[in-house]
Chain A
Amino acid sequence: MLKNYLKVAFRNLYNQKLYSFITIFGLAFGMACFLTMFSYLQFENSYDDFQKNGGDIYRVDKVYKFNGYLNRDSRTGTALASLLHENFPQVKNEVRFANLFLTMISSGEDAYVEKQFLFADSSFFSMFSFPLKIGNPNTVLANPFSVVLTPKTALKYFGNKNPIGQKVHLQMRGLPKKIGFTVTGITNDIPSNSTIKFDFLASFNSLNQILGKNFNNTKWGDGLFWTYIQLQNNYNPKSLEVLFPSLVKQYVPKGEFDIQTYQLIPLKDTYYNKGDGLPVGDWGLKPFSYLLLLMSLLVLIIACINYTNLLTAHSVTRSKEIGVRKVQGANRFQLIIQFVGESVLVSLIAFLISIVLVELLLPFFRSILSQAFSLGMLASREIDFNLTYPSMLGYMFLISIAVGILSGFYPALVLSRYNPSKVIKGELRAGKSSAWFRKILVVTQFAVSVIFIICSLHMLLQINYWRNSNLGFKKDNLICIPVYDNSLKEKYEIFKNKLLQNSGIAGVTESNQIPAGSDANILYIKAGNVKDIPVYTYYVDKDFIKTIGLKIVKGRDFSDDYSADTKSGIIVNQGAMKLCGFNNVGGQEIQLYANPNNRKDVRYTCNLIGEVKDFSYRFFKSQDDPLILKIEPRAMMYILIRINNQSPTAAIEYIRTSWKDMQFDQSFNYSYLTDNLESSFSFYDALDSFIRFASMVTIIIAVLGLFALASFVIDRKTKEIGIRKVMGASVKDIILKLTLSFIILVVIAEIIAVPVSYELISYILQGLPNHITFNIWIILSAVLFVTALAFSVVGLKAFKAAAANPVKSLRYE
């Protein structure tokens, strides 16, 4: 019997190629999307599963008060680990991490920008499960200036040479010279589902010597230091957490941060729970991942709807078979089994195709996901997830069977209900109830597609709005070079003068921040009665304002004519003027200090010389947050060069050769400021890529489905069309008559979709900084586009039918 069913099923699929193609590929695409997102979620949920001690490892987060609010940040400073160790025997082990993010590493002639240089205490290898290929886990990180490499890094720097005992040199911003590290071990490849990731892992105690006095400054402050602890087996973290507030009171001084307590985040939770600051390793956003899963599920549902729809329409062609089978003794249950089985078969074929599709889609998904979580210039992230064969396929196999049953059940029900005596008398018309059902399905399909399209277009518009937003300075043609080599600071003026000799270069400046970056330092102001006002601080040189194109509204720019400017001149933005209550520039002594609890420790005593118009010094943040610009050559982190836009390549070439001539101990490496801006919203960009993809897939499935449906309906009407033509109907009349019933469905879908997307998009946009509003033109163009698409597809089919010679169709019937 099964063979009998299978034969009929396959021959039907083969005989109706267009219909089979559209249904199978629709389903396969839906499944591929869902399969990919489902495996991504599985991948995310598997983070750190391989850690044998994972259940007892916790990241320690500081909980501190800022502006009256409690914040939680995983960056803890360097002193916490030993404090915990000394006070709590429950703490079995502890590891501190430091992440330098952007560094320059060299070995011999080879120098590369590296973004995964990590420091860890020597207990690292006993706490975490990273087996070593070469080296003793207890000693590889014991001595200062030791480094452990991953196999990939070893290959990159040393090729096939034995790397053990070799040296790599680290150039770090703020360090006077290169520091050599000796390779002491090689790990196995780091699993892609590890939150802790590194290419280089150096001994933490090196930092003591590297940072010297500065190391102590970061004891409790932020810095890029993290603390992980391992508790005694199965010890309840809550019973430790309750002891923290009193520990803080006793030992942790009130400094830059008003630390209240510490919180223990289980290792397994750290991935989705990064806190308010930057985490040491990989992190994800649970809502984002589930949103993607939901979107892929919608695509799959659309594909199922498409399939159910076509199946229901086509069931009429199977009515004779049903009648005959019933006459021969098939009962209703057997027929339902047959047709549901057929649908499951189709679903399984689609499933096989979807596996191939997933392999094709994965690189695309991976690159978008990596983009979503990249930190721009600071760090890049490779999201390297794969299908987890075979468990994944097991799930998907079950899901495709479910898809087959769900999509096939209704059509099977309709089919099996056919009354054989009627079928055999040829009285069967496509049931009215199923026509209604089909219409509802078409409307649903198009409504979802239109919602996707409208959301995607808004997202695109929003990103463009950010891209082109007025930052208050001229962001184009600004080149940005990160500074690693300390000697560069001494030779900066020479380099600058050299660059300015070229007519292609309009200006050169430097600062400790990238304009429109993500963060800035904070200092506190005291001036007259005003005190303890936190203001963001930019350390710059005298040409900063000119070069990036800020506007002076009061007072003057930094100038060579006033020798005091270098020492004591500051310029503030309008926001700071207002906040501090300054009315005029000049005449007022201003003190800047880092710690409001220690006002005596004055960093700078200054004079206000000018006021600049507010600008977006931090992207996405309000322009009128208070800002000070201060000349401070020692803080140089980026060189900013404005080039003329006539011949950018020549200008860059000139910079490159000048760089070479200067013989800096750092290879030439630059980016456009605008590229860096992109990374501020790359997350949303990635989200939009997904929505765009989903909207493309759904609209293609919907339109193809509509085409197949229209073809089917119109093909059955050839006789009617013939008769109408013989009676004098024009081709135009017939096309209109045939097309209208389908277009009405699309229009109804649009009428439903528009208010829904209005609500949805308004909600999404409200959560975004600097957001646009709902755009009527997008709605109109999306609606017009979809209607036109549907019209042309159905119209094409209708035209062919209407233009055919009526005599032929009538004779044929």
Chain B
Amino acid sequence: MIKLHNIEKFYNNKVIKTFVLRNINLEIEEGEFVSIMGPSGAGKTTLLNIIGMLDSPSEGGYYFLDEPVHKMNEKKLSELHKTYIGFVFQQYHLIDELTVYENLETPLLYQKVKADERKGRIAETLDKFNIVAKKDLFPNQLSGGQQQLVAIARAIITEPRLILADEPTGNLHSDQGKDIMELLKKLNKEGTTIIQVTHSETNAAYGNRIIKLKDGWIEK
């Protein structure tokens, strides 16, 4: 599903070129559950964002479902990640002015899903995540765990084939974190490819592969 070929990422700050990712070669098959680990500043988020097409590599080739992402224009990119990719962030990133229901609705609106189907899918997802009672609450009326639950629900509501989760449990208590990991595991079982960034060995163990990053290099 994902092929990274000699990916480099650097920033040109004034005169100094700072490298963030070095010579990344990586293949991820559909249905995998990959955990990316490494110290802070290693480039994990950068890598995830490149995979998620929010950021572009400075050099190298990126193939998503065998299509060359590094050659695509903005429109094609946004089309691709709109249909295939769901994101989950450490800080949840829900829209504060929208209720749970409306937050879930937003990605469907951008995908131009019809009203009937929208309603059905939201009801289904609320049910699946056990948050029907919370649907009219605003994010700041929820606990962190509940917010992350909603964020995951929002990520999967468009039925993406790939979920990218950047430290999804980083701001949560351990038992809340456990629930989230179980949920991701379940989604993976149902066929969704998952790539997560985590600091915790326990969380990494939920996946079937671990990639270690250090100073931008993948550790063998």
Docked complex Cα distance between A4 and B101 (Å): 11
Q: Which of A321, A327, A332, A424 has the most CB of B within 10 A?
A: A327
Given A8-B97, A327-B54, A426–B110 Cβ distance below 8 Å?
A: no
Do residues A329 and B111 form an inter-chain contact, with CB atoms below 8 A? yes
Do residues B106 and A4 form an inter-chain contact, with CB atoms below 8 A? yes
Do residues B78 and A424 form an inter-chain contact, with CB atoms below 8 A? no
Q: Which residues of B contact A320 (CB under 8 A)?
A: 93, 95-96
Do residues B91 and A421 form an inter-chain contact, with CB atoms below 8 A? no
Do residues B82 and A329 form an inter-chain contact, with CB atoms below 8 A? yes
Docked complex Cα distance between A320 and B139 (Å): 14
Do residues A325 and B110 form an inter-chain contact, with CB atoms below 8 A? yes
Asked if A15 lies at the interface with its beta carbon under 8 angstroms from chain B, I say yes
Do residues B95 and A321 form an inter-chain contact, with CB atoms below 8 A? yes
Do residues A1 and B109 form an inter-chain contact, with CB atoms below 8 A? yes
Asked if A161 lies at the interface with its beta carbon under 8 angstroms from chain B, I say no
**Nearest CB of B to A210, in Å:** 78
Asked if A432 lies at the interface with its beta carbon under 8 angstroms from chain B, I say no
Q: Which residues of A contact B62 (CB under 8 A)?
A: none
Docked complex Cα distance between A424 and B87 (Å): 11
Do residues A424 and B106 form an inter-chain contact, with CB atoms below 8 A? no
Report the interface size class on chain B: 20 to 34
Asked if B125 lies at the interface with its beta carbon under 8 angstroms from chain A, I say no
Do residues A420 and B75 form an inter-chain contact, with CB atoms below 8 A? no
Q: Which residues of A contact B78 (CB under 8 A)?
A: 326, 329, 331
Bitwise, A6-37 to B at CB < 8 A (1) or not (0) is 01100110010000000000000000000000
**B60-101 interface (Cβ within 8 A of A):** 74-75, 78, 81-82, 87, 89, 91, 93-98
Q: Which residues of B contact A327 (CB under 8 A)?
A: 52, 54, 81, 87, 93
Residue of A nearest to B50 (CB): A421
Do residues B106 and A328 form an inter-chain contact, with CB atoms below 8 A? yes
Main SS of the interface on chain A? helix
Asked if A429 lies at the interface with its beta carbon under 8 angstroms from chain B, I say no
Do residues B110 and A330 form an inter-chain contact, with CB atoms below 8 A? yes
Do residues B89 and A424 form an inter-chain contact, with CB atoms below 8 A? yes
Asked if B105 lies at the interface with its beta carbon under 8 angstroms from chain A, I say yes
Q: Which residues of A contact B93 (CB under 8 A)?
A: 320, 323-324, 327, 424
Residue of A nearest to B48 (CB): A421
Residue of B nearest to A333 (CB): B75
**A401-451 interface (Cβ within 8 A of B):** 420-421, 424-426
Given A329-B110, A331-B75, A4–B45 Cβ distance below 8 Å?
A: no
**A305-325 interface (Cβ within 8 A of B):** 320-321, 323-325
Asked if A622 lies at the interface with its beta carbon under 8 angstroms from chain B, I say no
Q: Which of A7, A424, A426 has the most CB of B within 10 A?
A: A424
Given A4-B109, A325-B110, A421-B54, A11–B82 Cβ distance below 8 Å?
A: no
Do residues B97 and A11 form an inter-chain contact, with CB atoms below 8 A? yes
Do residues A334 and B89 form an inter-chain contact, with CB atoms below 8 A? no
Q: Which residues of A contact B176 (CB under 8 A)?
A: none
Docked complex Cα distance between A65 and B154 (Å): 87
Given A320-B93, A324-B95, A329-B82, A334–B110 Cβ distance below 8 Å?
A: yes
Q: Which residues of B contact A420 (CB under 8 A)?
A: 54
Given A324-B93, A328-B110, A329-B110, A4–B87 Cβ distance below 8 Å?
A: no
Asked if B6 lies at the interface with its beta carbon under 8 angstroms from chain A, I say no
Do residues A425 and B45 form an inter-chain contact, with CB atoms below 8 A? yes
Residue of B nearest to A8 (CB): B97
Given A329-B110, A330-B110, A425-B45, A4–B105 Cβ distance below 8 Å?
A: yes
**B105-142 interface (Cβ within 8 A of A):** 105-107, 109-111
Bitwise, A498-531 to B at CB < 8 A (1) or not (0) is 0000000000000000000000000000000000
Do residues A426 and B98 form an inter-chain contact, with CB atoms below 8 A? no
Residue of A nearest to B81 (CB): A329
Residue of B nearest to A426 (CB): B91
Do residues B45 and A8 form an inter-chain contact, with CB atoms below 8 A? no
Given A8-B95, A8-B98, A323-B93, A328–B54 Cβ distance below 8 Å?
A: no
Given A15-B97, A425-B45, A4–B75 Cβ distance below 8 Å?
A: no
**Nearest CB of B to A582, in Å:** 88
Docked complex Cα distance between A421 and B82 (Å): 15
Residue of B nearest to A14 (CB): B97
Do residues B97 and A12 form an inter-chain contact, with CB atoms below 8 A? yes
Docked complex Cα distance between A463 and B109 (Å): 63
Q: Which residues of A contact B109 (CB under 8 A)?
A: 1, 4
Asked if B146 lies at the interface with its beta carbon under 8 angstroms from chain A, I say no
Do residues B98 and A7 form an inter-chain contact, with CB atoms below 8 A? yes
Asked if B55 lies at the interface with its beta carbon under 8 angstroms from chain A, I say yes
Q: Which residues of B contact A329 (CB under 8 A)?
A: 78, 81-82, 107, 110-111
Docked complex Cα distance between A323 and B98 (Å): 15
Q: Which residues of A contact B59 (CB under 8 A)?
A: none
Asked if B23 lies at the interface with its beta carbon under 8 angstroms from chain A, I say no
Asked if B171 lies at the interface with its beta carbon under 8 angstroms from chain A, I say no
**What are 14 A-B pairs with beta-carbon distances under 8 A?**
A4-B98, A4-B102, A4-B109, A8-B97, A8-B98, A323-B93, A324-B95, A325-B106, A327-B81, A327-B87, A327-B93, A331-B78, A421-B49, A425-B45
Residues of B within 8 A of A (CB): 45, 49, 52, 54-55, 74-75, 78, 81-82, 87, 89, 91, 93-98, 102, 105-107, 109-111, 154
Q: Give the top 3 A-B pairs by smallest Cβ distance, nearest first.
A: A329-B82, A11-B97, A421-B54
